[in-house]
Structure 1
Amino acid sequence: MREAVHLDYSACENTSLISCFSFDTALSNTALELNCSDSGRLVGGRSLCSGSLQIRDQSLNQSWAGVCEGALGRRGAEVLCRELGCGTPFLQGALSPLGQTFHCEGNESALMDCPRTRTRTSPEACPALNLTCDEPLRLLGGASRCEGNVEVKYSDEWRPVSTLFDPWDLEAVAVVCRDMDCGTVVSTGKKRNSTQRYGWIVSSACVKTAAVRDCIQDDDPHAEDMDLVCSGEV
């Protein structure tokens, strides 16, 4: 157990991480773990799990470059989403079984591990490949995938979202329904966790502008689970 340095999302300015630091004498057994990809990323979306695909490797002098639409098939999209710590990819017209640049088997750990066909087409001369992966969210214990206890995956571990120290308002809860393509909020409630599982403390203010996973602040040994019912798949 050590004294903690917390990240205060409301204090963050531009891209400077130091502006987000706040010091606390409270003890914490939770360490921040980063999942970085040095070869592929999605930019311009709401979170790390959506946006336009960019890659970099030695042939690009380690600079980032866009990828043309149609260069990625379903297996390649699955590899990239997994590399970024996201869920499965949404099937889109941009995922083409023909004319692919990346030829993935699906078991690669990173997109740049897949064999590639070199293309002479400049990324600036073609539509960009846009991809959306599922956010690492789920609702458990309900009658369908759109109702139940809210859980989020972080550092390869699923835990319930705890609202004990940071209650969520309706605007924040609606983010979960939207990110899971489950429509709008029908009802929400909370209940004491009886399983002795740790929960994730997630900033209710942060989720209104960022992905739920990106708003985790700490873990909570006395989790108070959030129960949610959304209107259904859209």
Structure 2
Amino acid sequence: MSASRMIAIKDVTKIFHPGTPAQSRALNGVTFDVAPNELLILKGPSGSGKSTLLSLIAALMKPTSGEVVVDGTRVSKLPEEFAALYRRRTIGFVFQKFNLIPTLSAVENVMTPLFPEKIPEAELEAKALGVMEEFSIAHKRNAKTSNLSGGEQQRVAIARALVNDPPILLADEPTANLDAALSRQFLGFIERIKGEGKTIIVATHDPLFFDLSFCDRQIELHDGSIVAEEP
């Protein structure tokens, strides 16, 4: 892939439940590129296709047609075994509802992406705690995530997404469950992560993201199609 492109979305269409009465078209021939170290905001109302695009980039699902190419790899064609390895090595994903495991402690949640790497447990924990320190959540290392506040859960989710030092961070409606102060704190996290050279895509309809000095570009989606693009 060209040095100017980290991610290439090529004429991507996604249809759910094709050929059934429940058929729905989530994406309709979407095409765009994302440069290395770019912060891209995907905006649009619920149901516009934002979350579906993130899932395709993360190889959590495959497009009905078109291609998704990430850092030279055609991830839209990867068998699941290789897709899992790609996600572990390349993608950090902050989910809207954080998707933490409530029965595990905060540090155990952060460690989970590292388990397949066959690293000694002491080293795993040290690596996880190092990332948790960056986001001021290491003091909650032994707390069950079900006992953490929304902001604390978010910091655990960010640490988990970054523990493998992936080049790409995807965030799906990351402030949907946060108040205004915690949402602004998250923007500070994003600015810091961008400063570390990562490529970031945030899917959101939160106006806080629409006038950021460190945002490179915004793409607006409606009904699965790109309707506007702003530098």
TM-score category (smaller protein): under 0.3
Specify the structure having the higher radius of gyration (Cα).
Answer: 1
The normalised TM-score by structure 2 is 0.25
Normalised by the length of structure 1, the TM-score is 0.25
Higher strand share: 1
